[in-house]
Amino acid sequence: MAAKTKKAIIDVSQQLDKIAEQYQTFQILNEEGEVVNKSALPDLSDEKLKELMTRMVYTRILDQRSISLNRQGRLGFYAPTAGQEASQIASQFALEKEDFILPGYRDVPQLIWHGLPLYQAFLFSRGHFHGNQMPEELGALSPQIIIGAQIVQTAGVALGLKKRGKKAVAITYTGDGGASQGDFYEGMNFAGAFKAPAIFVVQNNRFAISTPVEKQSAARTIAQKAAAVGIPGVQVDGMDPLAVYVAVSEARERAVNGEGPTLVETLTYRYGPHTMAGDDPTRYRTAELDTEWEKKDPLVRFRKFLEAKGIWNEEEENKVIEQAKEDIKEAIKKADDYPKQKVTDLMDIMYEEMPFNLKEQYEIYKEKESK
């Protein structure tokens, strides 16, 4: 190899080091719930802080019960969320009602706190079409199953909001695996070129389904990928709800002020399997790594912070737990009682005008269903 070429490679390596240094992890609370970045503390009232904790605790219970319901055969597809509450709930907490959510399949909690009835979330898990029918007043699409497809959709929705003069944003969620998809770059590039009010949240839980993030990309961070499309990128401690809240709040402010989109990478960890469909995380994660991240639990961290402020205690938390259990019990019953899905339902909602070759089949099913 020529000496000049060797020097060029060394120079590039040094440049990469400098780029990575620009994306230091943003944090407000450390693992002990202590404030380590006082100047960045958000201006949230005690009631708002308690509400954020309430939603996180509620979501953890919802995750536990959903796993149990799945094992009982009462739910279908389910992707566990424990460990990602700060990334999911604190980011949604930074939104306004008029904002539009385009979730991935693990992001049902954000939809629920944005206005999706809990029983519909259960119907979504069961594959019932009503679980995908977002209420009219809820700005959201149903959870995307195709990894990364929601990124391109977000660029379009955000541009639509801009063209209509709305002071609102489109926010989307994916994981580190989604950041390896072509749609990830295409969607961000389009949104950046048109300064569309979008927020792209990558919840980097380190393993996608089972592939370590280090084997997915040579980039030191996912946040730095924003530079390639000319938009801001920030890496956040995804186990710190206050840091996530601040990062998304600031991204939203930039977006509605016409400054374009932002990429937010949250460093987080899912404590359970990728989904309940047979994934075994012990095959690709060590017990030592699990223990390391359990010490970073967002609920433990935020609980310590609130207890130190004197605004949270065990009694408060138990009330939330009992309320969550009661709500889940009622919602699963409502899902059980909801009219069963029929073949003709799917055909009716699939086509505005049914193709002639299906009309005969439709009539056959209609007759069977009437008996």
What residues are annotated to the active site?
A: 270, 274, 284
Helix (H, G, I), strand (E, B) or coil at 100: strand
170-175 and 100-102 as β-strands: parallel, antiparallel, unpaired? parallel
In terms of Cβ atoms closer than 10 Å to its own Cβ (0-12, 13-18, 19+), residue 44 is middle
Does residue 234 contact residue 262 with C-beta atoms inside 8 Å?
yes
**Strand residue runs (E) in 61-213:** 100-102, 170-175, 198-204
Smallest CA-to-CA distance from 122 within 288, 268, 333 is with: 333
User: Which of these, 161, 174, 180, 224, lies nearest to 201 by C-alpha position?
Assistant: 174
- For helices 241-256 and 46-71, give the axis angle rounded to 10 degrees: 110
**Shortest CA distance to 149 belongs to which of 110, 186, 107?**
186
Contact 155, 196 (CB under 8 A): yes
CB atoms within 10 A of CB 264: 28
